[in-house]
Chain A
């Protein structure tokens, strides 16, 4: 079940935490000021014992009541100053630190939206979510306390030790004695702690995944009565987490015990020594009180270092987890003229580009060729004259000419980026031309790669080789924004977002669509049922709204695809969840839309296929036949099998 990639290398906690700097930078002044204030406040606390010493040795011993009043007043002032400084520190960082957390979360969100779909296929959303919530909260807490207090405590200890050494250097050294063993223990255990902490965080992520899946797959769990086994899986995971947390606690307890015991022993030794010195008259009672008071005041800073370091380690692993996502390469924005690096590059493209005019000229020469399969694979040897003529013309001019219109796949191969390079590609040298204004149905056996092929058009996945053109323009040469504005998609799985019905549909348009467009789109998709919803088109749907049936969602998704009157339409089995009446009505309306739209329609059934002008058959990763429905039904056995289910075992 664990879905997190193992941490790649052992990085030092400090170096990892330093990566937070860009986020901390904007608030660095406040954070730094706060730290300085905390140091000052802490030192104020250390001055208090000195005042006490002065009081005990001076006014109290001398029975000087004015001196006592003075001492008490200064104590009061110091105390007030300490309190206000502590408050000031918190006030200074409260807003900035929430801002750092929010900024990091917004960045993560922005980045996730731009990561390739392939990344999302790989990562469980629970793992992403736990990075966006618990990990970031840990980081905020780290910036608020451990970071500041590691500094504050270090300075406090340093100042305290200096004060102690100044008061009595032998006692000071005795107190300092345990420092080295404490540091050694800390370093030893912190490393182990870091590993365990990382495991705990990953386990939380896995747990989140199980929770999420059990919520999203609740119908299946209930349908099969599997809530017990799901609960068992959950229990196992959470028991694993408990084990890790306990291991963490044991490590922490060891560190604490060492940190508590050793300094206490040193203070005890100092007390014994100090008492001897006082008895010998070498030390005043006041100095001893002040000394011990200082030593005791340092106890908390020393004690806390253990858990401060532990929190820092957790923060470091949280940072690591955060940047695992942030370091993933996002999709490029599709800079005009730029091509994705993993494509074959310009030279290969130019060579095959030379074939384009040849192929198109052949079509001209053969008239309205119907069952042809375009492209270099079947590049003709005929018509050399016209071919050379068009080749001599500039490629850019020819690509803008009429025959180049529409949606065209040129030798497109595709293999999932994480697939074994030796495995056969999902799509293998696909050449397909959907002419401008034409609608083409894509038919193929279950799992033949139809959906994958459609995902290449809006560049949800990137072609491994070959290229795709829209009206002659390479899709990698236009910004993704523009590409996706041109191509509207209706997915097989109709996802609605938490928004009103109207907004859900209108998100398919560029933003200049009005209510008229909305109505038209709803009419095409036969989605007039929305007017019967409680608040009409303003009814909230999606995660936080009304739940709609599969057929209703599919019709809204269809309306979303057609609302912007896109030039290119990609429909992935758009009618699968519709009932028979609605299907017929949608088909009739959709035909009008398709009349002047270039469309690629994945189809499973004859009724859907009939929406299209022509059909392409996808088989074994290749386009094996193109033609009208009736032609293919007559001439192609595989097609006939797919459409009617007859002639069992003829193919495959």
Chain B
């Protein structure tokens, strides 16, 4: 691709005199040479672009997948700290800036570096002196690049943070559009957004200005070098120590040598922006999952026939957040296989923490949680999730059809299985009444499916998953009484014999339990069958009386 000027020099210095002597050879050589160069250039260009695109896309595919998988592997408490907006920004805009670097920047860099090397070599070969001057001009250019890198790095980091803040606000508003509307937050939000958006605008402008500075500096150096070389070269042609053709070729090459410095700027631009993003992505990837998968997973003992539930033992378990503050002081607890245990208590009593320890969303800070004698930490994720399933109050629906949402419980479930699960919960009727029945797209987070219906769908997942231990964390809070009864009926039939932990504040739910635990400040303060507790004088008895009154 860079042979052009060389052929020009050859044409002027050789072909012209040869032609004057009627020798067509050199001219034909020039013509064929140029033809070859042009074709080769085109083919190489094609090959290079497609090949580099393949490499780039493979890298991106890998990176996207890695961020995604890593984010998914990180524990719940990480997700509670690291906001969803930031995570989304990591895997969208930050990956996007890497994409830019790879698809445009890297290609620039390869072109630039290759042509630099090639042209320098040619210049040195054409004339050592001229070439040396050209090479020397790289000194100041290098300095410029370094200065630019340092300054731009700072700006780009600020920009990446700024866009993440914009995204957080954006996502929060779009997802919370109902309260935004109802509480007339539009103006306030706009003002907040304006601040964030302007911060991004400013850093963005700063980045562009840094680029402008660099371009001025580098162009100045390049053009000065061209002028110097021409001056010196012309002097030498004048005193006869340099051929005219060589000077012509050298000048043509010089223009080409410095042509890509703007593009080098573009590369540096995307490089800095990508580096800032990569730093953040690396920060994310460096997060250790605090609930790691076991290196040598154990298997659960086979379920005993007729006893699908498993025994749960909390063995000297204590839990506190790493920020300090003990949530659950050390306790021992055994939940018999196949029994339903209800956990009641006020908010913050530690009920959910207990459930999360059992579902291994967290690991205890001390002690062990055993499932049929096996430490949860020794179970592979698939094995664990076959064993323990947790249904929470927050019934999130993924985009896709209703059937797909239920099938999350067991991806290989047939349509019959899915419908059977729905029927067991009395959810079949409303699903069939949807425009496309089970194939109705729930769109974004179930806009048209009521909260109660969503909880039924969430419960159908659990039914389908057929776990040995089922944890219900306020999983029926939005259901009406008949819905709740249907769930209880399903537990008594479809999930009969499973170990169940039910966190509920509705005493109607508690009544079906074999055992009730009353928690307060992280401790279990009452423990017994519902009948025993009702008959007693404890907190539960009081609550139960109040509830009975409300039904009268």
Contacts and interface: CB of A to CB of B under 8 A. Distances in A.
Given A79-B224, A257-B46, A492-B478, A543 B172 contact: yes
Interface string B355-373: 0000101000000000000
A611 to B, nearest CB: 10
Given A60-B237, A76-B227, A278-B16, A550 B474 contact: yes
A213 B444 CA distance: 9
Given A90-B212, A105-B166, A275 B197 contact: no
Contacts of A214: 68, 71-72
B534 to A, nearest CB: 13
B282 to A, nearest CB: 18
Interface centre among B31, B223, B259 (most CB of A within 10 A): B223
B453 A272 contact: no
Nearest to A64: B238
A76 B223 contact: yes
Interface in B351-410: 352, 359, 361, 381-382, 384-386, 389-394, 396, 398-400, 408-409
Contact of A122 (B262, B396, B443): B443
A71 B15 CA distance: 28
Interface in B170-228: 170-186, 188-190, 193-194, 197-198, 200-202, 204-205, 208-209, 211-213, 215-216, 219-220, 222-224, 226-228
B15 A275 contact: yes
Interface string A72-108: 1101101110111011001101110111011001100
A245 interface: yes
Contacts of A460: 178, 181-182
Contacts of B345: 579
A133 interface: yes
B420 interface: no
Interface string A245-273: 11011101110111011101101110110
A80 B57 CA distance: 40
A97 B208 contact: yes
A389 B143 CA distance: 94
Contacts of A132: 166, 170
Given A71-B234, A80-B223, A227-B73, 14 more contacts: A52-B230, A84-B220, A113-B189, A129-B167, A137-B96, A213-B396, A216-B175, A218-B72, A246-B54, A278-B16, A460-B181, A481-B184, A485-B184, A495-B178
B244 A56 contact: yes
A109 B169 CA distance: 10
B223 A252 contact: no
Nearest to B392: A219
A542 B180 CA distance: 14
Interface residues on B, range: 35 or more
B550 to A, nearest CB: 4
B234 A579 contact: no
B480 A445 contact: yes
Interface string B436-479: 00000001110111111100101001000100000000100111
A72 B478 contact: no
B287 interface: no
B231 A68 contact: yes
Contact of B481 (A245, A256, A645): A645
B290 interface: no
Nearest to A564: B183
Contacts of A230: 72
B154 interface: no
B166 A446 contact: no
B359 A112 contact: no
B416 interface: no
B209 A583 contact: no
Contacts of A78: 223
Interface centre among A230, A258, A289, A293 (most CB of B within 10 A): A289
A293 B353 CA distance: 75
Interface centre among B84, B185, B384, B451 (most CB of A within 10 A): B451
B39 A215 contact: no
A292 B37 CA distance: 16
B61 A256 contact: no
A93 B215 CA distance: 14
Contacts of A412: none
Interface centre among B17, B226, B450 (most CB of A within 10 A): B450
Interface stretch (B126-134, B249-257, B303-311, B330-338): B249-257
B529 interface: no
B414 interface: no
A271 B280 CA distance: 52
B212 A446 contact: no
Nearest to A144: B208
B450 A451 contact: yes
Contacts of A179: none
B481 A604 contact: yes
Contacts of A213: 396, 398-399, 445
Contacts of A105: 166, 197
B346 A579 contact: yes
A264 B177 CA distance: 57
A221 interface: yes
B335 to A, nearest CB: 18
A215 B87 contact: yes
B118 to A, nearest CB: 15
A488 to B, nearest CB: 8
Given A1-B399, A55-B230, A60-B238, A99 B481 contact: no
B249 to A, nearest CB: 9
A106 B391 contact: no
Contacts of B188: 507
B248 interface: yes
A133 B200 CA distance: 11
B49 interface: yes
Which 7 A-B pairs give the minimum distances between C-beta atoms?
A79-B223, A225-B385, A268-B34, A249-B53, A261-B42, A87-B216, A121-B447
B513 interface: no
A256 B50 CA distance: 11
A172 interface: no
17 contacts: A56-B244, A63-B239, A76-B227, A105-B166, A125-B444, A219-B390, A222-B361, A261-B42, A264-B34, A272-B27, A272-B34, A446-B453, A450-B450, A491-B178, A578-B347, A578-B505, A604-B481
Contacts of B37: 264, 268
B96 A544 contact: no
A113 B173 contact: yes
A476 interface: no
Contact of B480 (A102, A446, A488): A446
Contacts of A109: 170, 173, 189-190, 193, 197
B146 interface: no
Interface stretch (A5-13, A203-211, A344-352, A512-520): A203-211
A607 B448 CA distance: 27
